[in-house]
Structure 1
Amino acid sequence: MADEKKTEETPAKGGGKKKLIMIIAIALIALGGGGFGGYMMFAPKKATAEPAPTPGVVAVLDAITINLADGHYLKLKMTLQATTEAAEAPDGSKALDIAIEQFSNQSEDELLTTAGRDKAKKELVAKVVKAYTVEKKKEVMDIYFTTFVIQ
């Protein structure tokens, strides 16, 4: 009978260790999952791209003549593509002033090439959009050259 008691007690001790190991394993898995969930919940969010502005009215500006370097002239007529955030068609005064400032005294050679004209237009668009942005609302999204003549 003493042998029967020993055999009965031995499996009980081994079962207790297995239960303890399983409880520890479950606790580690739960903590790991909780840690991952907490990280996902409190991790810094990636910046989302700003939605593209919706085109609104187009404001046609009067043609202007700008003095270039070496006695040449640029006749420039452009339009402003407003966004729907603009309360009304934008006044073109700021855009014309920026264009005069940018193109004055530039060389004819710079503006006659497609690459030079494209570069100048990208710079102008960036300056005009910035000038017409009020309280993070973009009122102008693009400009279009309707006349670009160099003499």
Structure 2
Amino acid sequence: MADENKESAAEAPKKSKKMLMIIVIAAVVLIGGGAGAFFMLKGGSAEAKAPEKGSVTAIDDALTINLADSHYLKLQFALQQTTDAGTEEVDTSEAIELAIDEYTGKTIAELETEKGREAIKEDLLKKIVKAYTEDKKEMVMGIYYTAFVTQ
């Protein structure tokens, strides 16, 4: 019986040292991961500066766009420029062409729900931002619908 107590006492320190090592390693991994995430997020936000709103350029005439199944869309919108664009209005010709290309052939079902309109608007915005980016400076950052009528 005395031998059993000695063996138990000898095993206890081995287990506690093993458990202590696991805890130390886990703490180091968690602290290292947290510090890495902090520096990555902090560095990324400094580099990716959000553009500031500038002037708004309205498209004067409403567009009439052919949809699927003999329907049409009457669309009018404005471009939200960035401060990088300056005070001069951007040429809207390319934005008009992109809007016509984006909406031509769409169905009424795609446009009658808010989710559908927003998805198509997001696609159009991405194309417009890309088209109006010069020397890595975005000249346009948003679009606003001023008329949106389907029939």
Aligned equivalent of 2:57: 59
Q: Report 1:2-151 matches (<5 A).
A: 46-48=43-45, 49-61=47-59, 62-87=61-86, 88-151=88-151
Shift of 1:100: 0.3
Instruction: Quote the Cα distance in structure 2 between the aligned partners of 1:136 and 1:69.
Output: 37
Shift of 1:46: 4.3
* Secondary structure of the corresponding residue to residue 70 of structure 1: coil
What 5-or-longer segments of structure 2 have no aligned partner?
1-38
Instruction: Quote the Cα distance in structure 1 between the aligned partners of 2:114 and 2:104.
Output: 18
Q: Deviations over 1:95-128 (max 9, x none)?
A: 1100000100011110111110010011111110
| CA RMSD after TM alignment | 2.0
Q: Deviations over 1:52-103 (max 9, x none)?
A: 1111110010210000000000000000000110132111111110000010
Say how many residue pairs are matched: 110
Aligned equivalent of 1:33: none
What 5-or-longer segments of structure 1 have no aligned partner?
1-42
| Runs of 4+ with deviation above 6 angstroms | none
Q: TM-score, normalised by structure 2?
A: 0.68
Instruction: Quote the Cα distance in structure 2 between the aligned partners of 1:80 and 1:137.
Output: 16
Shift of 1:47: 3.2
Q: Deviations over 1:30-59 (max 9, x none)?
A: xxxxxxxxxxxxx99943451111111100
Q: What letter matches 1:58 in structure 2?
A: V
Identity %: 48
Q: TM-score, normalised by structure 1?
A: 0.68
